Amino acid sequence: MLVGTKIQVKKTLKKIAEDTGMPYISERWLGGCLTNFNSIRKSIKRYNDLVDKKKSGKLEKYTKKERLEIDREIARLEIKVGGLAKLIKTPDVVFIWDIKHEETALSEARKKKIPIIAVCDTNVNPDGVDYIIPANDDASKTVKIILNLIKEAVEEGKKEATNKTNQKQ
């Protein structure tokens, strides 16, 4: 899971997460996203159901006002859990951009004992982070460089996983 809600990171993180098919949070961390995953999973299911119904045209039976309310709910859920739509279990690892800004994400990942990869600037204490990437977390060039490296690593990992499953068969 990729987490980065700072203005400098949002757009790039969202694009890279969508390109690689990784779950992400780029707007606002929902409290309990990891520690109360069952409740979040209900919101994800609701979002997926509404999007599927809209795509298949099953919402045509509703009045114009009801469809408008459903569209608003889809938009609201898109912001909250849209990046988590493919998430069916708690993530195996969490990548956090700026642990000072994402304190809640860091503490929840620690509580659930999920490995943490984080970009750490000089203004934070990296205790509790399993894999530290020392870098300036505000520079836009740093954002692009590091997130592109993350993208390459994810793609390489997926390729290796595919090769392993092909070799087993």
Query: Is 60 part of any domain?
Result: no
Q: What is the pTM of this model?
A: 0.85
What is the rounded (10 degree) CA torsion for 15, 149, 117, 92? 70
Structural domains counted in the chain = 1
In a domain, 77, yes or no: no
- Residue 17 CB neighbours (<10 A): 24
Per-residue pLDDT of the chain (169 residues; tens, 9 = 90+): 999 988 989 899 999 999 998 999 998 888 888 898 888 899 899 999 999 988 888 888 888 898 899 899 999 999 888 889 888 888 999 999 988 888 999 999 999 999 999 998 888 888 889 999 999 888 889 889 999 999 999 999 888 888 887 777 6
Domain residues for 26? 2-34+90-168
- Nearest-10 crossing angle of helices 140-168, 7-20: 20
Is 39 inside a domain boundary?
no
Give the Cα separation of 20 and 3 in Å (integer): 14
**Best CA proximity match to 70, nearest among 42, 89, 44, 46:** 46
Strands annotated E in 11-166:
24-25, 94-97, 116-120, 131-134
The answer to the question of residue 48 being in a domain is no
Q: What is the CATH number of the domain that holds 130?
A: 3.40.50.10490
Please give the Cα distance from 133 to 145 (Å, whole number). Answer: 12
Is residue 59, in this structure, part of any structural domain at all? no
Does residue 8 belong to any structural domain of this protein? yes
Please report the pLDDT score of residue 169 as a whole number: 65
- Would you state the pLDDT for residue 93? 92
Residue 51 lies in a domain: no
Flag whether 73 is in a domain.
no
